[in-house]
Structure 1
Amino acid sequence: MPLPEWVPIREDLRGYEPYGAPQLPDLISLNVNENPYAPSEAVADDIAAAVRAAALGLNRYPDREATELRERLAQYLGHDLTGDHVWAANGSNEVMLQILQAFGGPGRTAVSFAPTYSMYPEYARDTHTRWVAGRRADDFTVDPQAAVELIKAEQPDVVLLTSPNNPTGTALPLATVEAVLDVAPGVVVVDEAYAEFRRAGTPTALELLDTHPRLLVTRTMSKAFALAGGRVGYVAADPAVIDALRIVRLPYHLSAVTQAAATAALAHADELLAQVDALREARDELAAWLAGRGYDVAESDANFVLFGRFADRHAVWQGLVDRGVLIRETGPEGWLRVSVGTPEEMDAFYTALMEVDPR
């Protein structure tokens, strides 16, 4: 409901609604790009033991620098990174907000390329950062020349690139990232929330960190690590850039419980990531099935597929909901996005879509 006039909210926020995808109980949830495979009993037991140990010290504040967690994340990422190169927060959402707090703000500009993650302009709005959205090509790639021209014209303090991109699944060649880095006057952020799902041979921007000190690469444990409920995101960058983020972080922003759970999960990285290959295979099968039925399908390196085009996408979305399957009405007009689920969940989606949109 709209806020009543007597609520003295900032005028630039009046009329907005809280961000969030629909949460509808008792439906097959294929709308928020979660990992459909829960942690095993053994992983859950170790997380529970770590949380219990942390609980015995909850009368004390947590390590405000999350030192152990940052070291473990650096070890996971490799590329000769140390804990000083990594910062962690409550999901990559908080990391992104901290980046805009530190490097954006009044009189500053952030640039990205739409369609992309719908929270980016909200981070800019909340930090009073001017927002400029360039356009992706028809195949959802970023044209390097167009990107360079836009950055030269706007002189942004923050450039947000996404690889793989949400909601399209499109990965960026490192040459495109480098072309942006060569002309960007401020920081360049490559959001790699879905990096673990990229196809073999698709590069990571982590390869560029040692030669580009203004580059930040963000990741999350929500997707491939099946830890969406744990709320842990992180960023890798030059230690001086990490120190800049530490200036704007809230005191004790990452709870002892969160740090303990994430650190325990990282000890089981191999097991938690074991389903990634299966999800990649299921994604490719999903894309091929949709294309075989005549849909336009965006090439995806993530754990979801964007497909279309529909004259009335909401009617299709509602028809799927009526059949117990929840996907996401997002992206360009006429397109829908479906996350990769278990084989049983995908069979339910296939059946429901054929009933709603027979072709």
Structure 2
Amino acid sequence: MTQNLDRLNALPLRDNLRGKSPYGAPQLDVAVALNTNENTHPVPADVHAAIVQEVTEAAWTLNRYPDREFTALREELARYLGHGLGSEHLWAANGSNEILQQLLQAFGGPGRSLLTFVPTYSMYPLLASGTDTAFIPGERAADFGLTPESAAEQVRRHGPDVVFLCSPNNPTGTALGQDVVTAVYEAGEEFSTVVVVDEAYAEFSHGGTPSALSLLEGRPRLVVSRTMSKAFALAGARLGYFAAAPEVADAVRLVRLPYHLSAVTQATALAALRHSASLLANVEDIKMQRDRIVDELKRMGLEPSESDSNFVFFGGMGDSRAVWEALLADGVLVRDVGIPGHLRVTAGTEEETSAFLESMERIASAR
């Protein structure tokens, strides 16, 4: 590793990339992998069959470039989201990470800045570095919450070109109130700040939790990012998308690579969207397992956060690394997010959740 690092440093790498580490959660061969917030339920049989059929049809024309505008896919995405959105409001890419990257390519870059509120999704600073956008780590309260007043004050203080708001937030799992989104947007008016609400886990929110999609009308610099990796169980397909004013989609057209969404990706996503009811049927079960984790961890004397996502962030451990290692010894892999005393666990199937809770029970009893 040291030799490889020396060779890397010998290259004419951009200064803002030196010393950086690539994103990556541990990929270990374990019985129960609950560390990357995947939907651990397999793709339903009817959806699998539909995807195979659509991809088979697409395979006959792979000698040709795909629809550069992925028109049918944007129409299906608009139909799924509702909120009066049309295909002109939608854009898609290879996962929501590419969506965020394209937005920074269009609205960030040299001499511009990105503000977000940490702790939050660990890819944000890496995306900033990759696009040569200055990264500003905003602050949250001691309980990791974010008030409209605090968020707006920090926007006025820093004057960022772009703000990322992760809701539900990763790793804490908590959703932001719409008052936070509107306060940030209004505070950014004088700087023409583009506000991106990253709703990767929105489908797992508790009932009654509003989406920032309802705030889009009349706000041309507001963007809502989503993904099909989580609720749709398509992490391996790589399909993310955003909803915004049509001119935002026009802006990212200036930076997208030619034909960036393959015909196979488009076919897969179309089949999934047309069978969304079948795929989303597992969401309620995942939410039930998530709430079960919260209740059981509280019973064990730990401190889980209430979650609007498909994972649970929990504290109350003196040595969280030792707990992580003890879980791993039992064949259960969770995420060490680098926050002392805290870990994050994905809500899996009932069997996977039981394996995690049984292991945690043994560990907690031995404390």
- The TM-score bracket by the shorter chain reads over 0.9
Q: What corresponds to 1:33 in structure 2?
A: 37
Are residue 258 (structure 1) and residue 265 (structure 2) matched?
A: yes
Shift of 1:313: 1.5
Q: What corresponds to 2:60 in structure 1?
A: 56
Letter in 2 for 1:342: T
Q: What corresponds to 2:72 in structure 1?
A: 68
Q: Within 5 Å, which residues of 2 pair with 1:192-341?
A: 192-330=199-337, 332-341=339-348
Percent of aligned pairs sharing the same letter? 55
Q: What corresponds to 2:357 in structure 1?
A: 350
Are residue 128 (structure 1) and residue 135 (structure 2) matched?
A: no
Q: What corresponds to 1:44 in structure 2?
A: 48
In structure 2, stretches of 5+ residues that fail to align are none
Q: What corresponds to 1:79 in structure 2?
A: 83
Deviation per residue, 1:302-359 (Å, 9 max, x gap): 0000001322211111111111000000052220000001111111111212223325
Q: What corresponds to 2:176 in structure 1?
A: 172
Question: Is the Cα–Cα contact under 8 Å of residues 115 and 331 in structure 1 kept in the other structure?
Answer: no
Deviation per residue, 1:282-310 (Å, 9 max, x gap): 11111011111111111210000000132
Question: Is the Cα–Cα contact under 8 Å of residues 205 and 309 in structure 2 kept in the other structure?
Answer: yes
CA distance in 2, matches of 1:147, 1:6: 41
Shift of 1:273: 0.2
Shift of 1:136: 1.3
Shift of 1:9: 2.5
CA distance in 2, matches of 1:299, 1:40: 29
Letter in 2 for 1:226: A
CA distance in 2, matches of 1:200, 1:354: 30
CA distance in 2, matches of 1:31, 1:261: 25
CA distance in 1, matches of 2:290, 2:129: 34
Number of equivalenced pairs: 359
Question: Is the Cα–Cα contact under 8 Å of residues 104 and 127 in structure 1 kept in the other structure?
Answer: yes
TM-score by length of 1: 0.97
CA distance in 2, matches of 1:333, 1:111: 23
Letter in 2 for 1:324: G
Deviation per residue, 1:72-127 (Å, 9 max, x gap): 00100001111110000000000000011100011111101111000001111111
Q: What corresponds to 1:94 in structure 2?
A: 98
CA distance in 1, matches of 2:258, 2:319: 47
Question: Is the Cα–Cα contact under 8 Å of residues 335 and 343 in structure 2 kept in the other structure?
Answer: yes
CA distance in 2, matches of 1:42, 1:190: 32
Letter in 1 for 2:290: R
Shift of 1:207: 0.2
Shift of 1:180: 0.8
Partner of 1:248: helix, strand, or coil? coil
Shift of 1:69: 0.6
Partner of 1:211: helix, strand, or coil? coil
Q: What corresponds to 1:21 in structure 2?
A: 25
Letter in 2 for 1:228: A
Letter in 2 for 1:215: L
Letter in 2 for 1:146: S
**Which moves more between the two structures, 191-200 or 306-315?**
306-315
Partner of 2:226: helix, strand, or coil? strand
Q: What corresponds to 1:115 in structure 2?
A: 119
CA distance in 2, matches of 1:311, 1:351: 20
Partner of 2:337: helix, strand, or coil? coil
Question: Is the Cα–Cα contact under 8 Å of residues 148 and 183 in structure 1 kept in the other structure?
Answer: yes
Letter in 1 for 2:58: A
Letter in 2 for 1:333: P
CA distance in 1, matches of 2:142, 2:278: 38
Partner of 2:242: helix, strand, or coil? strand
Question: Is the Cα–Cα contact under 8 Å of residues 30 and 332 in structure 2 kept in the other structure?
Answer: no
Shift of 1:223: 0.3
Partner of 1:87: helix, strand, or coil? strand
CA distance in 1, matches of 2:106, 2:63: 31
Letter in 2 for 1:291: K
